[in-house]
């Protein structure tokens, strides 16, 4: 009997949550150790799948299938392809690093890690589900733990940020559910299988008002998660108030679920509507890129600056998706992965300096290059990766997006290009104010990064260099599946 590796990877964190449930709240070290062991085990399983992944296979791999609710034709169907494989690695890696970054949590440690582990289970499940019912179930599973992780362990305005996140996400989920029900009722026999819906859409495409309304429901649900302007306003509040590790998960994984939804569901099942809405999506992507960059430039709070930079950078992802070209889709998929790595590292570094100084005001620092040289090195590399310096991970993905988008939307791409310059402007301004100049006497004797903090950031920095210098392995994983998606869109 073959071991169900996808289910094992998905439910290992849930098993960890159950194991922690039986731990005494006073045994904080034991709780942290259990969380680390189970998230590390999930990462090992994902790496094992990566080693066995067949880059030439155009279909889903390691599939698991079981009848679940026969009366509704709902099945437990899991699988992985080149679009989801990098995101699974991203999720399991950032979850492990998030657990390590959470070792400093002292308040209600048991509850914190239980919620964290349930959250990881939901995130992995979203990227593996091949049944819309199962997809929606995992999508909703994430909502409750994230609400509590922000609302209980967040900053001074944590309740406001948590409620705003919950309401935005719930509103999008309701519209997405209506679209799922509409697809089910308009197929004979009713099916929620994503591969079957793709096949039905290929043989007799969903067209007309029905297709447009269903796509619109999915679009709003996914756009809120990305987030696309003007659905982005929950993001800065959630990021600023969330604990460091939860900001990492928000930026590194949750935002990718929106763009993944377009590639997994909206585009392959509803290509007619995808073409119809392509230009409006490209325009919204342009606004996100420029607006996000300008607002990030205006921030004096380091964490809020990084949060708004995510709005801008995810705009590049949506521009590549809207282009519907080979290079555009490749760039968008790579941007999903590289943005997760880079912004995850940025939020970890924000947490490092905040833990020491209890302020995130950019103007409050100065001369950190002399005071904390290791931290300066980590922050500099990550900032350069985010602004798209050649040789680091951010460059190749944005380059592909621009090349691919230019084939379809020349003027929109030209107007979006200054977003790169604006990104450089606010990151260089931040580095100048925080790292250069005369050291602030207030932070004299500031401790540099600890070994645990370095262990959370260094792996991400290594990936930034590796992908920036040699992106071929990552592109090989994605391209076969993206070619199949592109064929459905033609």
pLDDT tens digits, one per residue of 99-153: 998 888 888 888 899 999 999 999 999 999 999 999 999 998 888 898 888 888 8
**What is the rounded distance in angstroms from the CA atom of residue 379 to the CA atom of residue 385?**
10
pLDDT score of 1 more than 60: no
**What is the rounded distance in angstroms from the CA atom of residue 383 to the CA atom of residue 290?**
18
**What is the rounded distance in angstroms from the CA atom of residue 43 to the CA atom of residue 49?**
10
pLDDT score of 164 more than 70: yes
pLDDT 10s digits, 446-468: 888 888 889 999 999 999 999 99
pLDDT score of 435 more than 60: yes
| Across 193-217, average pLDDT | 86
Between 45 and 24, residue with greater pLDDT: 45
Token pair belonging to 272: 């007619």
Is residue 177 classed as helix, strand or coil in its secondary structure? helix
Ordered alpha helix ranges (H), 391-450: 393-408, 410-416, 418-435
| CB 412, CB 365: distance < 8 Å | no
Kindly indicate the confidence band of residue 2, based on its pLDDT and cuts at 50, 70 and 90. low
pLDDT at 97: 93
| Across 169-184, average pLDDT | 89
Beta carbons within 10 angstroms of residue 37's beta carbon: 14
Measured in residues, the chain has a length of: 490
* Average pLDDT score over the chain: 88
Helix-helix angle 418-435:302-323, to 10 degrees: 160
pLDDT 10s digits, 412-421: 899 998 888 8
Is residue 23 classed as helix, strand or coil in its secondary structure? coil
pLDDT 10s digits, 181-196: 998 888 878 788 888 8
- Which long-range contacts link 478-482 to residues 24+ away (Cβ below 8 Å)? 478/82, 478/83, 478/85, 478/86, 478/330, 478/333, 478/334, 479/82, 479/330, 480/55, 480/56, 480/57, 480/58, 480/82, 481/58, 481/81, 481/82, 481/83, 482/82, 482/83, 482/326, 482/329, 482/330, 482/333
pLDDT score of 92 more than 90: yes
| Across 381-386, average pLDDT | 91
Helix-helix angle 302-323:278-298, to 10 degrees: 160
Residues 6+ apart with CB under 8 A from 198: 268, 269, 488
pLDDT 10s digits, 51-68: 998 888 888 888 888 888
């Amino acid at each position: 009997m073959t071991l169900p590796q996808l289910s094992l990877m998905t439910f290992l964190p849930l098993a960890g949550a159950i194991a922690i449930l039986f731990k005494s709240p006073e045994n904080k070290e034991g709780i942290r150790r259990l969380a680390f062991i189970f998230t590390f085990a999930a990462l090992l399983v994902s790496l094992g799948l990566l080693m066995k992944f067949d880059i030439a296979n155009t279909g889903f791999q390691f599939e698991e299938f079981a009848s679940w609710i026969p009366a509704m034709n709902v099945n437990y169907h899991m699988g992985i392809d080149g679009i989801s494989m990098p995101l699974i690695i991203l999720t399991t890696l950032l979850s492990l690093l998030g657990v390590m970054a959470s070792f400093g949590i002292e308040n209600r440690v048991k509850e914190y890690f239980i919620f964290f582990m349930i959250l990881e289970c939901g995130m992995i499940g979203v990227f593996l589900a091949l049944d819309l019912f199962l997809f929606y179930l995992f999508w909703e599973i994430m909502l409750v733990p994230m609400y509590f992780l922000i609302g209980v362990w967040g900053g001074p305005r944590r309740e406001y940020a948590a409620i705003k996140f919950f309401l935005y996400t719930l509103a999008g989920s309701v519209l997405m559910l209506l679209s799922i029900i509409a697809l089910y009722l308009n197929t004979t026999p009713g099916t929620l299988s994503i591969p079957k819906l793709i096949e039905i859409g290929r043989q007799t495409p969903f067209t007309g008002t029905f297709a447009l309304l269903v796509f619109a429901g999915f679009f709003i649900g996914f756009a809120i998660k990305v987030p696309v302007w003007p659905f982005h306003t929950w993001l800065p509040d959630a990021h600023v108030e969330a604990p460091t590790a939860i900001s990492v998960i928000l930026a590194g994984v949750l935002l990718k679920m929106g763009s993944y939804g377009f590639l997994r569901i909206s585009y392959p099942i509803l290509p007619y509507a995808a073409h119809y809405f392509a230009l409006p999506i490209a325009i919204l992507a342009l606004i996100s890129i420029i607006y996000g960059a300008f607002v990030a430039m205006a921030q004096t709070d380091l964490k809020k600056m990084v949060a708004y930079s995510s709005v801008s950078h995810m705009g590049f992802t949506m521009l590549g998706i809207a282009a519907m070209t080979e290079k555009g889709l490749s760039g968008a998929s790579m941007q999903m992965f590289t943005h997760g790595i880079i912004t995850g590292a940025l939020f970890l570094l924000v947490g490092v300096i905040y833990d020491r100084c209890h302020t995130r005001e950019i103007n409050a620092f100065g001369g950190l290059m002399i005071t904390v040289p290791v931290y300066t090195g980590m922050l500099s590399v990550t900032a350069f990766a985010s602004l798209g310096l050649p040789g680091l991970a951010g460059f190749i993905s944005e380059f592909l997006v621009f090349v691919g988008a230019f084939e379809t939307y020349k003027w929109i791409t030209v107007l979006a290009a200054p977003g790169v310059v604006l990104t450089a402007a606010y990151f260089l301004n931040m580095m100048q104010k925080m790292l250069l100049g005369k050291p602030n006497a207030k932070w004299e004797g500031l401790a540099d990064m600890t070994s645990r903090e370095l262990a959370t950031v260094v792996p991400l920095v290594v990936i930034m260099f590796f992908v920036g210098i040699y992106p071929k392995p990552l592109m090989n994983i994605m391209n076969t599946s993206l070619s199949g998606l592109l064929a459905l869109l033609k």
